[in-house]
């Protein structure tokens, strides 16, 4: 029978030594982990207490329309580990300063701050932010007054506003529609301008007429060279009278980097061609904004090979099915105007040099661009060759078409219809290489970019015309 072999004394001693070595290694690690967990928990306790103080500050301000000067006035609702701070101070800017904080008797520092103390509360505002706060408080007070009296006050000084820790002074104009206009603003006697506004004044609840706003940004008539006025805004063009129109002044976006982006019909991106003196169809002229959709669809110009836009199938589709698919709010700002149906140049478009037997003009809501809308994007030295030789402005001649924002919409991918017929069969087209030509028959299946005019009274709801912040319009 075989006997079981037991551990020897030496083997037992070896095991104990190994366990002792392991404990010497592991124990500090475990203690360090436990200490870190406690530190994190303690910091969270101080942070929770600081947030409770912030909330108490905000509640006090709402109730008393002023901030407290000491902690004694605050009702701090905090549940958690016991937090004690040696110095708890409300600073002149109403931020909160907590120093030498302890949680359950253990000192806890804020490692993110050089002094190790905790900082909470209001961040220091710039003078512009003080004026903006004053304006928004005034706006809120006006709304409250209107809700109670069903009218706006004739004198804004009758309104009660929350106090600020700096003295804000502005000349204030209020209007019957609740619009507020602040001028000559100062903070603690230092003048403060709104750098986002051309006039430097502060505007609240103000609705801006879109036409006037865009014209205000337009380059002066004295700017006759693109590079001298390349602020991404419109340029001014004067035109003599024609057989159908009086003397006109147009304002156009030219080149390839204009700030003419618009959000229209939901999230669709359209572009502003310019502002034009347009006839409402009854001889009354107004300045209207002309929009061009930035993406196309394919269609025949006329399925029956006709050459008169007034009775074309594409015209019927745009002003029936397509028009009714536009969101109602945006549909309501479209204005019917008189479109001219002459040849490719701006003067002949407004003349009577069209196709014999076809209409000289047509009044409606949605159409296509004029050939001249494309041509003028090369004007004032953007590319003289294309402006003066549009029928030979080919990509093969150089990089000329890429200087036109309208050409960049098609990016050389298709033939694009215009509103103008060339003969009793062909229509002027923007060609993929940038040329303007007329060899496409009206039955071809080519690209169409819808074009329309907005009502003169339309207002800018938001935006600055850049691709990241397109304009939005409303009535």
pLDDT tens, residue by residue, 212-250 = 889 988 998 899 999 998 889 999 999 999 999 999 999
With pLDDT > 90 as the criterion, what percentage of the chain qualifies? 38
DSSP category for residue 177? T
Average pLDDT, the chain: 82
- Mean pLDDT across 259-286: 95
Q: Under a CB-based contact definition with an 8 Å cutoff, are residues 450 and 366 in contact?
A: yes
DSSP 3-state percent helix, strand, coil across the chain (nearest 5):
30, 30, 40
What does the pLDDT read at residue 1? 46
Question: Number of C-alpha atoms within 13 angstroms, CB side, residue 352?
Answer: 5
How far apart (Å, rounded) are the C-alpha atoms in residues 68 and 89?
Answer: 11
Token pair for residue 449?
């970019």
What confidence tier does 129 reach under pLDDT thresholds 50, 70, 90? confident
What SS3 state is found at 148? helix
Place of tokens 């301000």: 61
Compute the Cα dihedral for 339, 342, 343, 348 and give only its sign: negative
pLDDT tens, residue by residue, 423-449 = 888 999 999 888 998 888 989 999 999
How far apart (Å, rounded) are the C-alpha atoms in residues 291 and 144?
Answer: 39
What confidence tier does 120 reach under pLDDT thresholds 50, 70, 90? low
DSSP category for residue 376? G
pLDDT tens, residue by residue, 20-79 = 777 666 556 555 555 665 677 777 777 777 777 777 777 776 666 666 767 777 777 777
| Helix segments in 186-264, DSSP class H | 210-217
How far apart (Å, rounded) are the C-alpha atoms in residues 407 and 462?
Answer: 27
Compute the Cα dihedral for 284, 281, 216, 346 and give only its sign: negative
Strands (E), 268-406: 268-279, 285-293, 297-300, 334-335, 337-340, 361-364, 366-367
pLDDT tens, residue by residue, 367-413 = 999 999 999 999 999 999 999 999 988 887 777 788 999 999 876 67
Q: Under a CB-based contact definition with an 8 Å cutoff, are residues 363 and 336 in contact?
A: yes
What does the pLDDT read at residue 4? 53
CA distances to 80, 272, 345 from 254, rounded to whole Å, are 65, 11, 16
pLDDT tens, residue by residue, 307-352 = 899 999 999 999 999 999 999 989 999 999 999 998 888 888 998 8
């Amino acid at each position: 029978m075989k006997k079981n072999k037991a551990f020897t004394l030496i083997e037992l001693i070896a095991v104990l030594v190994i366990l002792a070595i392991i404990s010497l290694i592991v124990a500090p690690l475990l203690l360090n982990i436990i200490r870190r967990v406690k530190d994190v928990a303690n910091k969270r306790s101080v942070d929770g207490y600081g947030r409770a103080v912030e909330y108490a500050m905000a509640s006090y301000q709402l109730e008393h329309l002023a901030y407290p000067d000491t902690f004694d006035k605050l009702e701090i609702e905090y549940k958690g580990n016991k937090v004690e701070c040696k110095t708890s101070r409300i600073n002149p800017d109403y931020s909160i300063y907590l120093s030498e904080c302890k949680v359950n008797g253990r000192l806890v520092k804020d490692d993110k701050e050089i002094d190790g103390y905790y900082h909470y509360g209001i961040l220091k505002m710039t003078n512009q932010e003080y004026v903006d706060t004053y304006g928004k408080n005034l706006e809120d007070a006006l709304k409250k007054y209107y809700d109670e009296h069903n009218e706006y006050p004739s004198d804004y000084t009758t309104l009660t506003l929350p106090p600020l820790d700096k003295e804000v002074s502005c000349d204030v104009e209020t209007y019957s529609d609740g619009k507020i206009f602040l001028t000559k603003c100062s903070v603690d006697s230092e003048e403060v301008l709104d750098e986002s506004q051309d006039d430097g004044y502060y505007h609240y609840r103000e609705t801006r007429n879109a036409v006037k706003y865009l014209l205000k940004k337009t380059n002066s008539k004295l700017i006759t060279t693109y590079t001298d006025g390349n602020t991404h805004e419109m340029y001014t063009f004067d035109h003599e009278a024609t057989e159908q129109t009086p003397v006109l002044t147009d304002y156009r976006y030219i080149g390839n980097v204009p700030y003419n982006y618009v959000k229209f019909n939901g999230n669709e991106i359209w572009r502003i061609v310019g502002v034009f003196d347009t006839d409402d169809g009854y001889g009354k002229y107004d300045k209207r904004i002309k929009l061009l959709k930035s993406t196309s669809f394919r269609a025949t110009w006329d399925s029956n090979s006709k050459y008169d836009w007034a009775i074309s199938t594409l015209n019927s589709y745009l002003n029936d099915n397509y028009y009714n698919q536009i969101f109602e709010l945006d549909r309501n700002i479209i204005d019917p105007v008189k479109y001219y149906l002459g040849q490719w140049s701006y003067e002949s478009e407004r003349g009577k040099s069209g196709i014999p037997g076809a209409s000289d003009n047509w009044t409606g809501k949605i159409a296509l661009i004029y050939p001249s809308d494309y041509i003028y994007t090369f004007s004032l030295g953007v590319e003289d060759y294309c402006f003066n030789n549009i029928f030979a402005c080919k990509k093969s001649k150089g990089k000329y078409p890429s200087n036109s924002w309208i050409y960049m919409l098609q990016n050389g991918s298709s033939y694009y219809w215009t509103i103008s017929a060339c003969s009793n069969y062909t229509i002027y087209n923007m060609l993929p290489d940038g040329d303007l030509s007329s060899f496409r028959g009206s039955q071809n299946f080519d690209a169409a970019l819808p074009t329309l005019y907005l009502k003169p009274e339309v207002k800018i709801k938001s935006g600055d015309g850049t691709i990241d912040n397109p304009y939005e319009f409303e009535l």
